[in-house]
């Protein structure tokens, strides 16, 4: 089980008590602005039950972002293996997060993202992390840049799982960061 602590957050595995937050985020039009669907209560509960039943590979559990000062769960984050061949390499590792809209603008995506990258590169010894988002999702793109991930336009693609009824959501951009690049960033400008 993964447990990561930052200055303001605890990132802990998802528990049964997180069902309501999972539904809230899956039904909120603001949170899902760049997704082609909202989840019904039944769909959210079924997916949540499936997540609870899976024993994830170490380091790939769905994590809940909890505010240290209040104990409030505010969102989800984690690492996952993408299955988008041939568009992206087999089992490419993606970093991602989804935060309650009432907590946007506080830097929690950046804080959790940096902690996940550190965990991925130092504990899990992953060689490269990707992040993908709809091409005009400025909030996601800003968070990806703030955690040190540069864009890789050569890998941008039209997502095959987005229906033709939502053409504005098809184009996805890819940001990627290697372990070596991350280490160089941590060393600072003097080491480059």
CATH number at residue 62: 3.40.630.30
Domain count, the chain: 1
Domain limits at 54? 4-191
Q: What would the pLDDT profile of 45-98 be if each residue is shown by its tens digit?
A: 888 888 888 877 888 989 999 999 999 999 999 999 998 989 998 889 999 999
The predicted structure's pLDDT at residue 183: 96
CA distances from 12 to 20, 54, 78, 112 (A): 16, 16, 10, 11
Local confidence band at 192 (pLDDT 50, 70, 90 cut-offs):
very low
Q: What would the pLDDT profile of 129-147 be if each residue is shown by its tens digit?
A: 999 999 999 999 999 999 9
Contact 25, 76 (CB under 8 A): yes
Contacts of 92 (CB under 8 A, 6+ apart): 81, 82, 84, 128, 130
Largest Cα–Cα distance in the chain? 54
């Amino acid at each position: 089980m993964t447990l990561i602590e930052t200055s303001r957050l605890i990132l802990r595995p998802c528990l049964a008590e997180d069902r309501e937050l999972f539904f809230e985020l899956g039904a909120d039009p603001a949170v899902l602005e760049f997704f082609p669907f909202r989840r019904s209560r039944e769909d959210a509960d079924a997916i949540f039950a499936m997540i609870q039943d899976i024993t994830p590979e170490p380091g790939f559990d769905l994590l809940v972002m909890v505010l240290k000062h209040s104990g409030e769960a505010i969102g989800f984050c984690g690492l996952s293996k993408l299955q988008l061949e041939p568009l992206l390499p087999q089992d490419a590792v993606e970093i991602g997060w989804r935060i309650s809209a009432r907590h946007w603008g506080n830097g929690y995506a950046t804080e959790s993202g940096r902690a996940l990258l550190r965990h991925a590169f130092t504990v899990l010894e992953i060689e490269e992390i990707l992040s993908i988002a709809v091409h005009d999702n400025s909030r996601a793109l800003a968070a990806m840049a703030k955690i040190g991930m540069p864009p890789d336009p050569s890998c941008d693609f039209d997502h095959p799982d987005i229906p033709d009824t939502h053409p504005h959501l098809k184009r996805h951009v890819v940001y990627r960061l290697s372990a070596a690049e991350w280490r160089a960033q941590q060393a600072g400008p003097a080491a480059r």
